[in-house]
Structure 1
Amino acid sequence: MRKVGPYGVETLPEVLVDVPAAPAGCRGALVERARLQWRRTDGGDPAALAEEFLAAHGLPLHDLTRPAPTHHGDTRLCGAALYLSAAAGALLAGAPPAAPEPAPALPDLAVVVYDHRPTRTPDGGPPTPWWLGPWAESWTPAQHAAAVDAVRAAIGRGDVYQTNLVGHAAARYTGDPLPALSRLGALPGARYGGVLTGDGWAIGCASPETLIEVHDGHLITRPIKGTRPATPAGRAELLASAKERAEHIMIVDLERNDLARIARTGTVTVDDLFAVRRWCDLWQAESTVHATAADGLGLADLLRATCPGGSVTGAPKRAALTQITRLEPVGRGASMGALGWVAPGHVDLGLTIRTAAADGEKLHTWAGGGITWDSDPHAEVAEAAAKTAPVRATLAGR
C-alpha cells in the first residue's frame, strides 16, 4: 500500500538531512514535513503521483518554465527530495516488468518534503562497531560475459544498437550502515553525493552524472559513457577509442531525442561533446545537452521523457529495456534511477550510478556498462568491477 506522511526510520538511526543536490546552506537544517512512498505493485503513474503530492504540500511543479524564486516564499518550506527507481522509470517507458528486486524494502518512488529548522547536531553516542561481510554477486563473471555475447547477438539481428547491462552484489553487515553510506558522498567527482533514508532502508549516492537539471525553464542533461583508468595512458586510450566514442555519441543522440520531446522546437544543442572527466580513479567521457523547456512543461512529463536514463538503458530505449529484462538476473533496485532535489522552478536529479543501498540485513551495490557490437565480454566484466571497487572500498571503511 502507498505510504503518505512523515515518520521516523525505525531500524536505521536518524541522520542530518544530506540529500543529493539539496541547497548547501540548508543541509543539516531540515526536518521532514511530509512523505510519499510508492511501489510498482500499488498501481498508478508515479510521475503524476509525485507532481500531485508536491503540489498538495506547497511545491507546485506544474510549470517548470516559470522563474525560480530568489528566496523561499515560505520561510519554513525548503524543497523536497525525489527518488525514482529504475523499475519505476521502466514502467513510465512502457517496458515489461523486470526481474525480482534483491532489496524489496526499497520503494520505487519516494518524495520527501522538508521544512527548515535551526541547525542542530544529532545526539552523539559511541559509534557502533561496523562489520561488512564478503560480497555475493548476482551473476558470475562467466554469466556476465555470456549476457554481453547475448546483447551482441541481438545487435547482429538488428534488435538493438546498444544495451546497458548491470550486475548486483550484496553483503551482510552489522552496526549502523548510515556512516558508511554517507562516506560515498565524499568520493572525488560525486556531483550527487548524499543519502536518503526511509523506514528500514537507506540509499547512499556518489553519482557524477546529471540525469536532468531544470532551472528557469532551461533543461540540461550530462550523459556519461566511456571509462578508462585515471592514468595518462588511460586518458589517451579513451580519447582514441573509436568504440567508446561511437557508444557515447549513440547515447548523446538518444538524450537529444528525449529532450526534444519536452523542449521548444530547435532549441536542443550539444556542448562539450566527449569531454573527459575524472571520478575516483577512473576517466569518464561526458557530454552536455541543453534545451529550452516547452511551454507549460511540468514535473510529470519531465520524468516520463527522461526516465530511465538513456546511458543506463541503451538505444532504442524500449528495445534495450526488453533485453535488460531478459538478461539481468535481479532488479536494479536503487541503482540506475533518479535521486535529487526539487523546488519551485528548479529540478536537479542525478542518475543513481555509483550508488549503494541498505535494508535491514544487507548492503547492495550495482555496476555495469554499455554493450555495443565491438564490446569485448571480458573487458566489460572488468569495467564493471572497476566502477564498483571504490564504492565497496568506501563502504568497508578503507
Structure 2
Amino acid sequence: MSTLGPVVGYRRGSVDLHPPGLPTACRAYIWERSRLEWHSRDGGDPLRLLCDFLASHGVQISDFSGSPSVTDRSVCGAAVLLSPPSVTASPAPAVPDLAAVVYEHRHSVGMEVARRPGAVTGPWTPSWTPEEHAAAVQAVREAIARGDVYVVNLVGHASAPFSGDPREALARLAGLPGAKYGGVLHGDDWWVASASPETLVEVAGGRVTTRPIKGTRPATPEGRAELLASAKERAEHVMIVDLERNDLGRVARTGSVRVDELFAIRRWSGLWQAESTVSAELRDGVGLAELLAAVWPGGSVTGAPKRAAVEVAGRLEPVGRGPSMGAFGWIGHDHTGRASVDLGLSIRTAAISANRAHLWAGGGIVWDSDPRAEVAEAAAKTAPLKRALSGGRAAG
C-alpha cells in the first residue's frame, strides 16, 4: 500500500465474510461503500483519522450525548480494526494499523469466488522459544520487584506457511465457541480474523461498558474450581479492573463508574476465563476520539501502570503485536440514529498475508507468576486457533 498516506475511498462491493459486530439484521443487506487503510509510517493521529473518515460518510461522533449522530441513514455502519501502538515491527506488515470500512444498506447477492480451500501447510514457527518466553516472564518479575510495574501482559507470536483461499479457514476460526467478536476483515493482500470473547468498549444509550478478561484454566470442573480459588489470578484480575475503572473515569460523569460484575467465569472454546463488567455514564461532550484515547489499548493486554507496562513489554517481546491486542468491531447507530460502538479486544486473532498465517497470544505476569505455567497458558490459547487454520487437524 501507499507509503505517502492512507488509502481512502475505493469501493469493493458485496460482502461474503462478515466483520465482527455487524448487526444480524444487516447481514444480507450490506455493500462496501468506502474504506480507509492507514499504516503508522503514513504519519498522523489514527484516532483523528478514523473520526474524520467516519464523519465524511455521515457518522459524526463528536458527542455521544448530543442529538442523533448519523446524518446519512443509508449507511449501516463501519467495521474497524485498530492495532495497538508499537515500537517493534509487525511480522505481518501488509496488515494496516488502522482499517475502517463503511457499509451501506443494499441487497447483497453474495460473491461467487473461484477458490480452493486453504489451510496451514507446514509447522508453526514461534518468534521465541519456550525458554526465551520463560526468561521474559522472569524479567517482568524482576521489574515488579524493582517497583517499576505491578503487572505486565507479555505477548508472543508464531507463524506458519498458508496456501489456498483463506475464507473457509478464517470462517472456522471466527466461529469458535465463545467468539463474541467473531468475524473477518480483509484487503487486497491481507486478512484478519478474530474469535475474541472480550469487550474493549461498548456504548449504548449513553452508557459505556468494558469487560476485561484475566485468568485462564482448562474448561474442566477441576479447572473452574482452580480458577475460582486462585489468589494469584484474582489479584491480577482486580488490578486490571481497577485500571479499567480509572480509564472510564477519564470520560465518565462524576461518581457514575461502577463494577457491575466481578470475576465471573465464562467459557471460550476449551478454556474457562474470568471476566468482569465495568460501566459508566459518559459525560457531556465526549466523542469517539476522546473515548478511544481513554480505553485503547485495553488494560488487560497492557498491564499496570499502563504506560510503564507497555514499555517493559516492548523491550521483551520478540516482534510487534500487529493487529492483535488492539480493537476490532463495529461502529454504527441504533434505530434512533444515535451512535453505537461495539469494539472487541483483538485477542484470539489471526492474520494471513504473503502466504503465511500469524497468531499472537499473551498473558498477564505478576510477581508470583510461574514462567512454565505462563508458557503453557499461551499455548493453550492458540491451540484452538491453530486447529481451525489447519482444517481441524492437530497443528504443530
TM-score by length of 2: 0.93
The equivalent of 1:85 in structure 2 is 83
The equivalent of 1:369 in structure 2 is 363
Task: Give 5+ residue unaligned stretches, structure 2.
Answer: 334-338
The equivalent of 1:61 in structure 2 is 61
How do residues 27-38 of structure 1 correspond to structure 2 at under 5 angstroms? 27-38=27-38
| Cα distance, 1:271 vs structure 2 | 1.4
SS of the residue 1:145 aligns to:
helix
Q: 1:131 to 1:356 in 2, by over 3 A?
A: closer
Contact 2:155-2:362 within 8 A present in 1 as well: yes
Q: Partner amino acid for 1:3?
A: V
| Cα distance, 1:334 vs structure 2 | 1.2
- The 1-side partners of 2:287 and 2:212 are apart by 22
**Greater Cα shift, 52-61 or 380-389:** 52-61
| Cα distance, 1:126 vs structure 2 | 5.7
| Cα distance, 1:125 vs structure 2 | 4.0
Q: Aligned to 2:354, which of 350, 360, 364?
A: 360
- The 2-side partners of 1:226 and 1:131 are apart by 29
How do residues 79-228 of structure 1 correspond to structure 2 at under 5 angstroms? 79-87=77-85, 97-123=86-112, 125=114, 127-128=116-117, 130-228=119-217
| Cα distance, 1:66 vs structure 2 | 3.9
Contact 1:66-1:217 within 8 A present in 2 as well: no
- The 2-side partners of 1:386 and 1:305 are apart by 31
Q: 1:268 to 1:254 in 2, by over 3 A?
A: same
- The 1-side partners of 2:44 and 2:234 are apart by 39
Contact 1:6-1:32 within 8 A present in 2 as well: no
**Greater Cα shift, 73-82 or 302-311:** 73-82
Contact 2:17-2:167 within 8 A present in 1 as well: no
Matched, 1:5 2:3: no
- The 2-side partners of 1:127 and 1:42 are apart by 35
Matched, 1:388 2:382: yes
| Cα distance, 1:75 vs structure 2 | 5.0
- The 2-side partners of 1:207 and 1:240 are apart by 25
- The 2-side partners of 1:138 and 1:305 are apart by 31
Q: Partner amino acid for 2:348?
A: R
Contact 1:128-1:176 within 8 A present in 2 as well: yes
Q: 1:129 to 1:329 in 2, by over 3 A?
A: closer
The equivalent of 1:316 in structure 2 is 305
Residue by residue, what CA displacement relative to the aligned partner does 1:88-147 show, whole Å, maximum 9, x if unpaired? Answer: xxxxxxxxx521110000111111111122132321546446453211100000000000
- The 2-side partners of 1:2 and 1:76 are apart by 25
Residue by residue, what CA displacement relative to the aligned partner does 1:161-196 show, whole Å, maximum 9, x if unpaired? Answer: 000000000111110112211211211110000001
Q: Partner amino acid for 1:101?
A: S
The equivalent of 1:331 in structure 2 is 320
- The 1-side partners of 2:286 and 2:72 are apart by 23
Q: Partner amino acid for 1:175?
A: G
Matched, 1:264 2:262: no
Residue by residue, what CA displacement relative to the aligned partner does 1:35-71 show, whole Å, maximum 9, x if unpaired? Answer: 11111111111111111111111111111124768xx
Contact 1:338-1:350 within 8 A present in 2 as well: yes
Q: 1:170 to 1:7 in 2, by over 3 A?
A: farther
The equivalent of 2:391 in structure 1 is 397
Matched, 1:282 2:276: no
Number of matched pairs: 383
- The 1-side partners of 2:118 and 2:249 are apart by 51
Superposition RMSD on alpha carbons, in Å? 1.6
Q: 1:102 to 1:191 in 2, by over 3 A?
A: same
Q: Which runs of 4+ in 1 moved over 6 A?
A: none
| Cα distance, 1:15 vs structure 2 | 5.0
- The 2-side partners of 1:189 and 1:217 are apart by 27
Contact 2:120-2:357 within 8 A present in 1 as well: no
Q: 1:129 to 1:333 in 2, by over 3 A?
A: closer
Contact 1:210-1:223 within 8 A present in 2 as well: yes
Q: Partner amino acid for 2:80?
A: L
The equivalent of 1:91 in structure 2 is none
**Greater Cα shift, 343-352 or 221-230:** 343-352
Q: Partner amino acid for 1:329?
A: P
The equivalent of 1:92 in structure 2 is none
- The 1-side partners of 2:196 and 2:269 are apart by 11
Q: Partner amino acid for 2:359?
A: T
Residue by residue, what CA displacement relative to the aligned partner does 1:169-226 show, whole Å, maximum 9, x if unpaired? Answer: 0111110112211211211110000001112111100000000000121000000000
- The 1-side partners of 2:250 and 2:40 are apart by 25
The equivalent of 1:49 in structure 2 is 49
Q: Partner amino acid for 1:369?
A: G
Q: 1:349 to 1:81 in 2, by over 3 A?
A: same
Contact 1:68-1:346 within 8 A present in 2 as well: no
- The 2-side partners of 1:367 and 1:179 are apart by 22
Q: Partner amino acid for 1:4?
A: V
- The 2-side partners of 1:169 and 1:294 are apart by 42
TM-score by length of 1: 0.93
Contact 1:8-1:198 within 8 A present in 2 as well: no
| Cα distance, 1:34 vs structure 2 | 1.2
Q: Partner amino acid for 1:55?
A: A
SS of the residue 1:25 aligns to:
helix
The equivalent of 1:93 in structure 2 is none
SS of the residue 2:26 aligns to:
coil
Q: Aligned to 1:350, which of 336, 340, 344?
A: 344
